[in-house]
Amino acid sequence: MDFASIRIITDDLDRLVSFYELVTDVAANRPAPVFAEFRTATGTLAIATPATVAMLGDGAPRPGSNASVIIEFLVPDVDAEFDRIKSSLAEIVLEPTTMPWGNRSTMFRDPDGNVINIFSRPTV
């Protein structure tokens, strides 16, 4: 089994897609008006409207209700990425910091409140 993607359900697809285009510095693939995705060599971040999960009824994911997941992006230089996007961030959770295990991380929230971690691994 291969990990394929994580999907965020949002009430404002265009706003969230624009935010992740800024963060990833990549244009989203928009195969349908209710769905967008960012494909990488290691996985895909998908963003969709509630219409894509409506058939799940009461069990469908609810936009803006995440309180347990951190979306992580591995980058070569956390500080450079933070400097590039910080003026567009509404809520910074953690300024660039070297973690006790050696990773360099910065965390912030996307417009729906999801926590994003941009990190780099230590070079040895």
- List the chain domain ranges: 1-54, 68-124
CATH number of the 68-124 domain: 3.10.180.10
The tens digit of pLDDT for each residue in 7-23 reads 999 999 999 999 999 99
Q: Give the per-residue pLDDT at 13.
A: 97
Q: Give pairs for 23-29: CB < 8 Å, separation 24+.
A: 23/73, 23/85, 23/110, 23/116, 23/118, 24/73, 25/84
Exposed e or buried b per residue across 15-30, where buried means at least 16 C-beta atoms within 10 angstroms of its C-beta: ebbebbeebbeeebee
Predicted confidence (pLDDT) per residue in 40-58, tens digit: 888 999 999 999 999 999 9
What homologous superfamily does CATH list for 1-54?
Answer: 2,3-Dihydroxybiphenyl 1,2-Dioxygenase, domain 1 (3.10.180.10)
- To the question of pTM greater than 0.85 for the whole model, the response is yes
pLDDT greater than 80 at residue 124: no
Residues 71-118: tens digit of each pLDDT = 999 999 999 999 999 999 999 999 999 999 999 999 999 999 999 999
